[in-house]
Amino acid sequence: MVISFNKLDLSDKYNYINIEINDDGMSTDIFTNVILNNNIKAKVLLDSGAGNNSFWINSKYIKRLGLDKERMDVKVKKSEFNNNIQSRFHIGNIESIKTQNNLSKKENPRVLFVDELIYDGKTSIEWLGKIISIDLINKKIYILQ
């Protein structure tokens, strides 16, 4: 996965996904809409520091995805900021996650369903393409390869 900072030609700008930006002055968060299992829309945070194949989805989607929470592995992790708080992860697979315009798709990803996640989801970015360019001004991620 490479993030390109090169100037783009017009021909580079045909394959893109729309993004939403939240900039609080200290950090910039990038979100995009995805489709889970070909029919459920969710807005996810794109996390460039998440590593590879990192898919966190709010556990409120478990039932909507037709999954059984009781059949999933469970992991409990203490907060890095407060030892009195624990996060609960249900681990399973979904059929697919894809960009809203079908440019990028990941089949059968392993997903951590997180109780009380403040977003619909959070994903790594490598599944979007081998080379991408992020255009904050025009609110697009161009998929170059």
Tokens representing 89 are 């992860």
Q: What is the pLDDT of residue 63?
A: 95
For 13, the domain range is 2-143
Residue 11's pLDDT band, with cuts at 50, 70 and 90, is confident
- Residue 40: name the closest of 145, 111, 89, 142 by CA: 111
Give 28-47 pLDDT, tens digit per residue. Answer: 999 999 999 999 999 999 99
Q: What is the CATH number of the domain that holds 104?
A: 2.40.70.10
pLDDT of residue 81 exceeding 70: yes
Q: Which residues pair with 30 in a beta bridge?
A: 21, 46
pLDDT of residue 2 exceeding 80: no
Give 99-123 pLDDT, tens digit per residue. Answer: 999 999 999 999 999 988 899 999 9
The residues, any chain, with a CB within 8 Å of residue 111's CB and separated by 6 or more, are 55, 56, 57, 91, 92, 93, 94
For the chain, what is the domain count? Answer: 1
The residues, any chain, with a CB within 8 Å of residue 87's CB and separated by 6 or more, are 76, 77, 78, 79, 114, 115, 116
